[in-house]
């Protein structure tokens, strides 16, 4: 289990606490300059940290209180860099061999390259390899030290989409094989959602929220996190508590005149509180005819944006607050349902999926 | 043809290179990676011999190495003869006026190594010494060699500083450049011409070698 706590004000402000278990993949996500690469470098020992503790199992790599700071070259952590950082004058085999610990059998490097489907390419130098092959060499090199931890710094950002897909598959297989904590830095939420067991949202060097991807994406801690994780529809409203235990709470959608939505009262928000709220796509149901039940909102499709197999419909509520809700459907569904601009549709918002957040960004 | 002066010049050039290459690796590597606030001052000082008139540099060296100076007195107490007007003094002067020719290409070569390769070396578990031998020197050798070639060529042709610090003592401080001057003064244009031709060919070969080293430089970045 990797345990990390970083707390310093300068030179780079960091306020991060994270854990990653064996075989688990933790994605550090955040905008540019959010400090995610700094966190990774601090874990690897490539960046001096004034305050914090980094330990894996019972091995302490950094403990500023105890003045422990194991140098990077002595921390058994494999790292894959954004541009791979392969040694350009060395062959793929030599790149991997160089990272083997003292006393390791030379054929280990060949086996590692073989595990990465690089048989026959051992003698090639980095400039003679494709982007995907270089990435595999970098992974093989990172594993050569039999690391206790694998760190991936935007490792998939420099390859084209088909190669990236193949590398995702490779990483999934690798996770099963090595069973060590993997910490991955990415700015690509889709990638994080696809690969990670847990997300850690960072901004300004501080953890804003962490948890399983589906949880963070459907239950962002606040409107700021919701915006950071790319949720497009962040609505405002006024929360009204349940009149009694049996009836649901009421959410007045909009700042003044608006639609009343039924929602769940968790007893944490006072009556009449202005709130921001989001709803994950899986809780929004689109109907061509008016369905029964609660939270049915009549809308008009304002735009239909086709992107391959997926079509995104921008639906605006007919009644105030005239808010936009983006709904993704398959392009086939859109075609068969004639879901084009100006078409009237009905959205049913599942009360379970309505996630209410405090209005102030740093709350909660 | 003054073979003795040519031999002396070649020996001086090799000795200067032997001093400046290892020190250049240390200093050039440090300068390449340092962000010390005084780094620009250090760089400007080391580059001074490039623009300082050789006679000015020679004068200061003569003063610094002469019998009245602490360095000169220390040298006399250790070796028994003064540093000025000796091969030792000539070597010290040659080392100082060649610093920019040897160290600047070396520094540039280390600067061209991407920072992430240093991080990669550390995360591969390489010690600093192993990183130097296995990563940095193989990537920087062209710059280091280029500096060495420039140093040798420049030493062979240097006149002003050598004359100021070394005088013209045959077999001790009389280099080929001074010998050419002497031959011209003595109207022995044939000997001056053949020695000049040697220096011309050496200079041309140096420039060709430098061009070749910089042109065939492979991409340091792997991607």
Identify the pLDDT of residue B216: 59
Give the residue carrying structure tokens 């290179």.
Answer: B17
Lowest-pLDDT choice from A92-101, A162-171, A336-345, B42-51? A162-171
pLDDT of residue A215 exceeding 50, the answer is yes
d(CA A107, CA B38): 48
Contact between A310 and A364 (Cβ < 8 Å):
no
Provide the pLDDT confidence category of residue B217 given band limits of 50, 70 and 90: low
Provide the pLDDT confidence category of residue B55 given band limits of 50, 70 and 90: confident
Identify the pLDDT of residue B221: 47
pLDDT digits (tens, 9 = 90+) for A122-152: 999 999 999 889 999 999 999 999 999 999 9
Dihedral sign of CA atoms A224, A229, A231, A232 in order: positive
Provide the pLDDT confidence category of residue B47 given band limits of 50, 70 and 90: very high
d(CA B34, CA B140): 17
Angstrom CA distances, A22 to A72, A178, B5, B106, stand at 21, 9, 72, 45
d(CA B144, CA B108): 9
Q: Do B120 and A83 touch (CB under 8 A)?
A: no
CB burial string A213-225: b at 16+ within 10 A, e below: beebbbbbbbbbb
Q: Do B125 and A46 touch (CB under 8 A)?
A: no
Q: How far is A88 from chain B (nearest CA, A)?
A: 5
Look at residues B137, B131, B109 and name the one whose alpha carbon lies nearest to residue B119: B131
Interface contact B112, partner A, CB < 8 A: no
d(CA B85, CA B174): 10
pLDDT of residue B180 exceeding 80, the answer is yes
How much of chain B exceeds pLDDT 70, in percent?
96
Look at residues A16, A6, A61 and name the one whose alpha carbon lies nearest to residue A207: A16
3-state secondary structure chain A: CEEEEEEECCCCCEEEEEEECCCCEEEEECCCCCCHHHHHHHHHCCCCCCCEEEEECCEEEEEHHHCEECCHHHCCEEEECCCCCCCCCCCHHHHHHHCCCCCCCCHHHHHHHHHCCCCCCCCCCHHHCCHHHHHHHHHHHHHCCCCCEEEEECCCCCCCHHHHHHHHHHHHHHHHHHCCCEEEEECCHHHHHHHCCEEEEEECCEEEEEECHHHHHHCCCCHHHHHHCCCCCCEEEEEECCCCCCCCEEEEECCCCCEEEEECCCCCCCCCEEEEEEECHHHEEEECCCCCCCCEEEEEEEEEEEECCEEEEEEEECCCCCCEEEEEEEHHHHHHCCCCCCCEEEEEECHHHEEEECCCCCCC
Identify the pLDDT of residue B219: 47
Q: Which two tokens stand for residue A90?
A: 């060395």
Identify the pLDDT of residue B223: 40
Main-chain dihedrals φ then ψ at residue A126, nearest 5 degrees: -50, -40
CA closest to B117 among chain A residues: A85
Mean pLDDT value across residues A265-279 = 88
Q: Could you give the count of Cα atoms lying within 13 Å of A62 in the half-sphere of its Cβ? A: 26
Look at residues B160, B145, B147, B146 and name the one whose alpha carbon lies nearest to residue B98: B147
CA dihedral B175, B177, B183, B186 (to 10 degrees): -100
Contact between A357 and A276 (Cβ < 8 Å):
yes
- Measured from the Cβ of residue A326, the count of other Cβ atoms closer than 10 Å reads 16
Provide the pLDDT confidence category of residue A60 given band limits of 50, 70 and 90: very high
Contact between A345 and A286 (Cβ < 8 Å):
yes
Q: What is the mean pLDDT of chain A?
A: 90
d(CA A330, CA A343): 17
Q: Do A85 and B114 touch (CB under 8 A)?
A: yes
Contacts with A86 from chain B: Cβ below 8 Å: 120, 222-223
Interface size between A and B, measured as CB pairs under 8 A: 80
pLDDT of residue A39 exceeding 50, the answer is yes
Identify the pLDDT of residue A360: 59
Contacts with A142 from chain B: Cβ below 8 Å: 123
Q: Which of A71, A94, A98 to mutate to test the interface with B (most CBs of B within 10 A)?
A: A98
DSSP class of B219? P
Ranges A155-159, B72-76, B185-189, most confident: B185-189
Q: What is the pTM of this model?
A: 0.81
With a cut of 0.95, is the ipTM above it?
Answer: no
d(CA A152, CA A78): 8
Interface contact A47, partner B, CB < 8 A: no
Q: How far is B75 from chain A (nearest CA, A)?
A: 43
pLDDT of residue A361 exceeding 70, the answer is no
Give the residue carrying structure tokens 């360095």.
Answer: B71
Question: At how many degrees (to 10) do helices A131-143 and A107-115 cross?
Answer: 130
Identify the pLDDT of residue B161: 85
pLDDT of residue B222 exceeding 50, the answer is no
pLDDT digits (tens, 9 = 90+) for A296-323: 999 999 999 998 889 999 999 999 999 9
Angstrom CA distances, A304 to A47, A173, A278, A314, stand at 47, 38, 21, 6
Identify the pLDDT of residue A363: 44
Identify the pLDDT of residue A140: 94
Mean pLDDT value across residues B87-102 = 90
Mean pLDDT value across residues A218-228 = 86
Q: Which of B33, B118, B125, B138 to mutate to test the interface with A (most CBs of A within 10 A)?
A: B125
pLDDT digits (tens, 9 = 90+) for B111-145: 999 999 999 999 999 999 999 999 999 999 999 99
Contacts with B127 from chain A: Cβ below 8 Å: 73
Provide the pLDDT confidence category of residue A44 given band limits of 50, 70 and 90: very high
Contacts with A47 from chain B: Cβ below 8 Å: none
Omega before A11 cis (within 30°)?
Answer: yes
């Amino acid at each position: 289990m990797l345990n990390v706590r970083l707390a310093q004000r300068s030179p780079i402000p960091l306020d991060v606490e994270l854990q990653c278990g064996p075989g688990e993949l933790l994605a550090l996500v955040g905008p540019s300059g959010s400090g995610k690469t700094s966190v990774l470098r601090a874990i690897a020992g490539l960046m001096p940290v004034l305050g914090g503790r980094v330990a894996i199992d019972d091995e302490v790599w950094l403990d500023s209180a105890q003045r422990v700071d194991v140098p990077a070259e002595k921390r058994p952590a494999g790292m894959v860099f954004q541009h791979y950082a392969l040694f350009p004058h060395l062959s793929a085999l030599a790149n991997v061999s160089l990272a083997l610990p003292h006393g390791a059998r030379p054929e280990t490097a060949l086996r590692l390259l073989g595990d990465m489907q690089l048989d026959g390419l051992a003698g090639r130098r980095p400039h003679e390899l494709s982007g995907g092959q270089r990435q595999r060499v970098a992974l093989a090199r990172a594993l050569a030290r039999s690391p206790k931890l694998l760190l991936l710094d935007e490792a998939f950002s420099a390859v084209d989409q088909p190669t990236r897909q193949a590398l995702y598959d490779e990483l999934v297989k690798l996770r099963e094989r090595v069973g060590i904590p993997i910490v991955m830095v990415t700015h690509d939420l889709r990638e994080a959602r696809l690969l990670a067991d847990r997300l850690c949202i960072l901004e300004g060097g501080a953890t804003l929220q962490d948890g399983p991807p589906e949880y963070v994406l459907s239950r962002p801690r606040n409107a700021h996190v919701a915006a950071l994780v790319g949720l497009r529809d962040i609505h405002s409203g006024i929360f009204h508590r349940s009149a009694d235990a049996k009836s649901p709470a009421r959410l007045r959608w909009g700042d003044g005149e608006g639609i009343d939505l039924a929602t769940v009262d968790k007893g944490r928000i006072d009556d009449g509180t202005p709130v921001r709220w989001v709803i994950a796509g899986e809780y929004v149901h689109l109907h061509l005819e008016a369905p029964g039940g609660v939270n049915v909102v009549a809308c008009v499709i304002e735009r239909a944006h086709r992107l391959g197999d997926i079509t995104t419909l921008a639906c605006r509520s007919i009644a105030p607050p005239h808010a936009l809700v983006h709904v993704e459907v398959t392009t086939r569904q859109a075609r068969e349902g004639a879901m084009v601009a100006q078409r009237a549709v009905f959205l049913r918002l599942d009360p379970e999926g309505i996630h209410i957040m405090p209005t102030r960004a740093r709350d909660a | 043809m003054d073979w003795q002066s040519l031999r002396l010049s070649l020996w001086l050039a090799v000795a200067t290179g032997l001093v400046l290459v290892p020190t250049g690796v240390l200093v050039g590597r440090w300068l390449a990676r340092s962000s010390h606030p005084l780094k620009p001052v250090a760089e400007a000082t080391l580059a001074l011999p490039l623009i300082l008139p050789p006679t000015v540099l020679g004068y200061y060296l003569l003063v610094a190495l002469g019998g009245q100076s602490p360095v000169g007195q220390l040298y006399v107490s250790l070796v028994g003869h003064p540093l000025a007007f000796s091969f030792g003094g000539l070597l010290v002067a040659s080392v100082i006026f060649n610093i920019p020719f040897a160290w600047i290409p070396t520094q540039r070569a280390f600067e061209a190594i991407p920072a992430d390769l240093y991080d990669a070396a550390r995360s591969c578990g390489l010690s600093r010494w192993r990183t130097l031998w296995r990563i940095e020197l193989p990537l920087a050798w062209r710059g280091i060699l280029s500096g060495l070639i420039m140093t040798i060529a420049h030493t062979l042709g240097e006149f002003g500083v050598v004359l100021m610090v070394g005088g013209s003592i045959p077999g001790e401080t009389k280099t080929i450049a001074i010998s050419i001057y002497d031959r011209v003064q003595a109207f022995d244009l044939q000997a001056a011409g053949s020695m000049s031709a040697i220096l011309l060919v050496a200079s041309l070969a140096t420039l060709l070698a430098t061009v070749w080293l910089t042109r065939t430089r492979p991409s340091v970045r792997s991607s």
